[in-house]
Amino acid sequence: MSIALPWIIKYRPKTIDDVVNQEEAKQAFLNWLDNWGKPGQKKAALLHGPAGCGKTSLVEAVARSRGYQLFEMNASDFRRKSDIEGIARIAAQTSGLASKRKIILLDEVDGINTKADEGGIEAIIELINVSRNPVVMTANNPYSKNLLPLRQNVLEIPMKRLTETNVVAALKKICSAEKIECNDEALREIAKRSEGDLRSAINDLQAIAETYGRITLELVKSFVVYRDRQYAPYEALQKLFNAKYLFQARDALTSTDLDYDELFLWLNEHIPTYYEDPEEVVRAYEALSRADVYYGRIIRRGQWDLLSYMYDMMGPGVAFARKVYKYRFKPFRAPVRKRQLSETRRSREVREALAEHLASRLLASKATVKAEVIPYLQVIFKYNLRYAARIARGYSLSEEHINWLAGSKASEVIGYMKRGEKARERRREG
């Protein structure tokens, strides 16, 4: 039995066909790669799915099969803006050594923290814009708040969690290659406890095999623990809506890292897309509205003992609004409201900066400026351009502030400002 290499490396997929149970993702990824650089085509792709489903393996297998040179960076290598600018951009603008084609792989981009790793996401977006090679990223949870600005610039390719059957088949191949004595029940138990993570299943298999030289059900139950998985939002909703028992519906809500507000957004948007019977929709919304009442009392009064009731309404209340149990698979996408907030994020940032800029000069609070000053400024900057130019000059407003306040009239306001500056210069010279 060879133990020279960790088995997750030794048995990593060598070809595209070796990547298990990801046919749709393979096709989407290959189509994107074949059409890369054409008008209207995204310059970057984001492969997302649960841990151990084969995201990185797929990119490596495609690179090997299609003759691409792979330039791979892990999250620990490109957290800071300087890391990306100093290493990845050079790779993005040059050709590969062994071939003219190259794939740049940024692994685990959801590991970037927008506060601790300031500028990291913005640097990746800039990298995508200037790259002369395909940029591929992987993430476990594409709906992380940190990735909202990034998702608008990439093609999202979802990858499925592997089934127990997929994991067992892969483990059987390894046992056969390593000539290990095993039985199907033991392999099924490893697969069950891995929760679809093939990487952890292979590690468990190797640990038992190297210690005991065989795989039995008793050994698996003694040494392999259940993995405590964090599910992506769309997986959690799939489990919630298809729950057979009350505890399954509750567990679905607590198995994702979405906060309470995000949970309400996801459920609110997908209740009418999942349920087809109007009566079921009404019952589900009734349960969600009761959950919202509990949530409001928790926030206003600090009554956290009501949290369990909120979960009962959000989980079992929504899941069992159906009349008859029937498993349904339907796609779940990020709520439109989240996308709208992402698209207007820069506008809100400019508004905040403008309020802070004016507050210090008017000796007023930011809230007062936003409520009582900025609305009037927006009217002035669109309908009284000469006066707007005087205000902009008097309060030292930046060009970005003027663009935000005046919209399509911004260039005219700036023109009046420049003419005013020239007139003052002439008067000083005279």
What CATH number should be reported for the domain holding residue 197? 1.10.8.60
- Reference 183, options 205, 161, 207; nearest CA is 205
Whether the Cβ atoms of residue 138 and residue 47 lie closer than 8 Å to each other: yes
Helices 336-343/260-274 angle, 10° precision: 130
Q: Answer whether residue 88 is part of any domain.
A: yes
Judgement on whether residues 146 and 44 belong to the same structural domain of the protein = yes
- Residue 287 labelled as part of a binding site: no
Same domain, 196 and 98: no
Check whether residue 177 and residue 128 sit in a common domain: no
Q: Residue 415, annotated ligand binder?
A: no
- Domain annotation covers residue 287: yes
321 assigned to a ligand binding site: no
Task: Give the rounded distance of the alpha carbon of 255 from its chain centre.
Answer: 16
Q: What pLDDT score does 2 carry?
A: 43
Does residue 15 sit within a domain? no
The closest alpha carbon to 197, from 185, 208, 205, belongs to 205
Main-chain dihedrals φ then ψ at residue 48, nearest 5 degrees: -135, 145
Give the gyration radius of the chain's Cα atoms: 28
- Tell whether residue 55 is among the known ligand binding residues: yes
In a shared domain, residues 260 and 210: no
Q: How many helices (H) and strands (E) does the chain have?
A: 24, 5
How does DSSP assign 99-135, residue by residue?
A: SS-EEEEE--GGG--TTTTTTHHHHHHHHHHH-SS-E
The predicted pLDDT at position 3 comes to 43
Query: Residue 75: inside a domain, yes or no?
Result: yes
- Predicted pLDDT at 229: 63
Q: What is the DSSP string of 148-213?
A: HHHHTTSEEEE-PPPPHHHHHHHHHHHHHHHT-B--HHHHHHHHHHHTT-HHHHHHHHHHHHHHHS
Exposure b/e, 415-428, CB count within 10 A at least 16 = b = ebbeeeeeeeeeee
Range of the domain at 393: 345-429
Sign of CA dihedral 265, 266, 272, 278: negative
Give long-range contacts, CB 8 A cutoff, 24+ apart: 145-150.
145/114, 146/110, 146/112, 146/113, 146/114, 146/121, 147/46, 147/109, 147/110, 147/121, 148/338, 148/341, 148/342, 148/345, 149/121, 149/122, 149/125, 149/342, 149/345, 150/46, 150/109, 150/121, 150/124, 150/125
pTM, whole model, 2 decimals?
0.60
Q: Is residue 17 part of a domain?
A: no
For residues 268 and 330, membership in a common domain is answered with: yes
Q: Could you tell me if residue 3 is inside a domain? A: no
Picking from 135, 158, 181, the residue at the C-terminal end of a domain is 158
54 is in an annotated binding site: yes
Do 145 and 52 belong together in one domain?
Answer: yes
Boundary-marking domain end, from 310, 335, 360: 335
Chain centroid to CA 5: how far?
32
Domain count within the chain? 4
Tell whether 193 and 279 lie within a shared domain. Answer: no
Q: Are 121 and 192 in a shared domain?
A: no
The C-alpha atoms of residue 213 and residue 220 are separated, in whole angstroms, by 13
Do 175 and 293 fall within a single domain? no
Q: What is the pLDDT of residue 114?
A: 59
Compute mean pLDDT per 10 residues along the chain, 430 residues long, and list them: 68 87 90 88 89 88 89 65 66 58 84 64 82 88 76 86 88 90 88 84 87 86 70 80 85 78 88 90 94 90 85 91 82 70 72 90 90 92 91 90 90 88 79
Could you tell me whether strands 69-73 and 135-139 are parallel, antiparallel, or unpaired per DSSP bridges?
unpaired
Other C-beta atoms closer than 10 Å to the C-beta of 177 total 13
CATH of the domain at 43: 3.40.50.300
Phi-psi region of 333 (alpha: psi -120 to 50; beta: other; left: phi over 0): beta
Q: Are residues 85 and 119 in the same domain?
A: yes
pLDDT score of 347: 81
Residue 84 lies in a domain: yes
Q: Which amino acid, one-letter code, is at 64?
A: R
Residue owning tokens 């420049």: 418
* DSSP per-residue string spanning 233-296: HHHHHHHHHT-SSHHHHHHHHHTS---HHHHHHHHHHHHHHH--SHHHHHHHHHHHHHHHHHHH
Comparing CA positions, the residue from 104, 93, 38 lying closest to residue 68 is: 104
d(CA 239, CA 196): 14
Same domain? 293 vs 318 = yes
- Asked if 46 and 136 sit in the same domain, the reply is yes
List the structure tokens of 400.
Answer: 């970005």
Domain boundary among 158, 188, 207: 158
Determine contact, residues 175/144, Cβ cutoff 8 Å.
no
pLDDT at 143: 75
Q: Does residue 142 form part of some domain?
A: yes
**What secondary structure letter does DSSP report for 40?**
T
pLDDT given at position 88: 64
